[in-house]
A and B are shown apart, each in its own frame.
Chain A
Amino acid sequence: MDYSVEKELIKIENLNFQIKDKKILRDVGNDRFPFVIHDLVFKNNTNCLGQVVAIVGRSGAGKSSLFRLLTGLVKPTSGKVLIPHASIPDKYKEVAEGEVGFVQQNYPLSRNQSVISMLTQACKMGKISKTDSTDLVKKYLNDWGLFNQRNQYTNQLSGGQRQRVAIIEQLLCSHHFMVFDEPFSGLDVGNIMEVKASFRKIADQDNINTIVFSTHDIDLAVEIADLIYVVGFEKNAQGEIIEGGTIVDCIDLKKLGLAWKPYCPEHKELSNRICEKMLLAG
């Protein structure tokens, strides 16, 4: 597919994150492996092309911490996570809490609120007017197959339904950037298809919509992402592991001609290469 690379949407500059004496992340977004997500635009195509970025790595490499930094929930020890300034074009600012949507692994929702109540509240937080929010919530409920569940409560929803409510909540809070922490974890085949469809829906809504997700399923990552970052540990000259996870590889599937294509043998080959890289960087 013919596309052009436009402005930077999310970039990380020399990010370090430490908790007390323990280094969690080290030098993420350096010159060797820059962490930059660009706005992509299809040429000669009216469809929207949102960005889908996968972050893979073994457990303990720092993916969850990276997500908390990307969403502004924690501040880095040094370095920056930058997003476009809302009101000043071509300017960037450090990400603050609430500026990036975060769909967490267990899709936490309110214990005592109905679906429609949660989504209406999300509209209020996204500063959507009362008159517009009724129609908008109804539209999302219909589009995402939740209209019949609108008066149900969290414990009455299936896992897939809860996930969709969690996603719509973040979308209604006017988030173009959304981070998903292990969205495929523990899902059956049907639910995985639902999540993939959700990602497609989000990406198709707006060009600057950007999804960043983590997964242990490398095959899934190569199938749906257009950019993959591998997080792991580097080794020094003596072969010892250097404390603090970092980006050890960046795979641009667009340049490889593998993005936006159905899963094929080339994807499998790439998946195997990434697995090998992850094992070396463990």
Chain B
Amino acid sequence: MSLIKRIFTPFEVVDRKVLSSIAFFQIAILVIAWQFGISEKSFFPKFSEVMMSLKELWQNGLFYHILSSLALCGKAIVIGIIISSLVAYSSTIPFFRPIVRFLSQLRNNPIQGFTLFLTTATGGGRNLQVSMMVIFMSFFFITALASIINDIPEEDINRRKAMKMNRWQILWEVAVKDRLDFLLEVIRQNISIMLMMLVSVEAMYKSFGGIGALITDSNRGLNFPKIFALQLVIFMVGISLDAFLKYAIHQFPVNIKRRN
């Protein structure tokens, strides 16, 4: 089968270099279309306009806004994962199982309506921003982590029982230590939710800066090249975080390939 035919045939395996070439070609087509395929009368900004805006943003301190957003996300993830892990691990204890199931279902609810109560409780400002992200993300973390714990094979637990471990030791060894890479995977899969929340959360207190604050301002002024530039920045931040976490997950022994 020729290479061209293989590229368009399902389940065909092609070389990584070929895949990279395909991706490069598709990105090039996209950029060309973006630059030359858009009408002058359209509101949709051209590629060159977006790049100019990006350069302006960078010159006006975009880097520090990115750092501010990353700091907010980082803090929220750490607190969120700690709280979610404790809740999810408690699902192994029968008494807490209904509570964990209830909390997991709360992921269907938006956070609007609770902002005033949270402002009162946290005192507003950065604390409010962190709290909102923690609360919102935790429901997703709890769901994912509880599912991982639920899927622990009985034979893993039986092995530890046969090794004379008590139930708390089994929880620590099997659910926590042996599945730390799953924890990182949960974070990786839910980063997109966190980035989506960034705009609404940072818009509450623009004095702290952040990409979300910048997008809110740009949106108000209908500065489309700037909005698209910031969207591109969020896209790149998301890809970078995803790649970083993928790399971290691959350092775990379970992902080391078997040596011959």
A residues adjacent to B (C-beta < 8 A): 68, 71, 73, 97-102, 104-106, 108-114, 121-122, 125-126, 152-157, 166, 169-170, 173, 175
Contacts and interface: CB of A to CB of B under 8 A. Distances in A.
Interface string B164-193: 110000000100011111000000000000
Interface residues of B, number: 24
B56 interface: no
Given A108-B153, A108-B155, A125 B254 contact: no
Given A111-B179, A112-B253, A155-B254, A125 B165 contact: yes
A71 B156 contact: no
A176 to B, nearest CB: 13
A100 B258 contact: no
Given A112-B180, A155-B253, A104 B161 contact: no
Contacts of B252: 111-112
B155 A104 contact: yes
Contacts of A102: 158-159, 161-162
A125 B153 CA distance: 21
Nearest to A181: B155
A114 B253 contact: yes
Main secondary structure of the interface of B (DSSP, over half): helix
Given A152-B259, A153-B253, A173-B162, 5 more contacts: A106-B155, A111-B178, A112-B252, A125-B164, A173-B164
17 contacts: A68-B158, A97-B164, A98-B163, A98-B164, A99-B164, A108-B153, A112-B177, A112-B178, A112-B254, A125-B165, A155-B255, A156-B257, A157-B258, A166-B159, A169-B163, A170-B162, A173-B163
A97 B158 CA distance: 9
Interface of B: 153, 155-156, 158-159, 161-165, 173, 177-181, 252-259
A212 to B, nearest CB: 13
Contact of A97 (B153, B161, B181): B161
A157 B259 CA distance: 8
Interface centre among B153, B253, B254, B255 (most CB of A within 10 A): B253
A27 to B, nearest CB: 25
A122 B163 CA distance: 7
Contacts of A111: 178-179, 181, 252-254
Task: Kindly list the 9 A-B residue pairs having the minimum CB-CB distance in the complex, ordered from nearest.
Answer: A98-B164, A153-B253, A102-B162, A111-B254, A156-B258, A108-B155, A112-B253, A125-B163, A104-B155
Interface centre among A68, A104, A111 (most CB of B within 10 A): A111
A170 B163 contact: yes
Nearest to B255: A155
A102 B162 CA distance: 6
Nearest to B259: A156
A155 B256 contact: yes
A100 B253 contact: no
Given A154-B254, A155-B256, A108 B156 contact: yes
A157 B253 CA distance: 12
Contacts of B180: 112
Contacts of B155: 104-106, 108
Contacts of A125: 163-165
Contacts of A113: 178, 253
A169 to B, nearest CB: 7
A73 B159 contact: no
Nearest to A71: B162
Interface centre among A101, A153, A175 (most CB of B within 10 A): A153
A126 B159 CA distance: 14
A109 B161 CA distance: 13
Contacts of A97: 161-162, 164
B174 to A, nearest CB: 9
B248 to A, nearest CB: 13
A39 to B, nearest CB: 22
A214 B258 CA distance: 30
Interface centre among A73, A101, A110 (most CB of B within 10 A): A110
A98 B159 CA distance: 9
Nearest to B173: A110
A108 B159 contact: yes
B164 A155 contact: no
A155 B165 CA distance: 23
Given A153-B254, A156-B256, A110 B164 contact: no
B256 to A, nearest CB: 6
Nearest to A118: B163
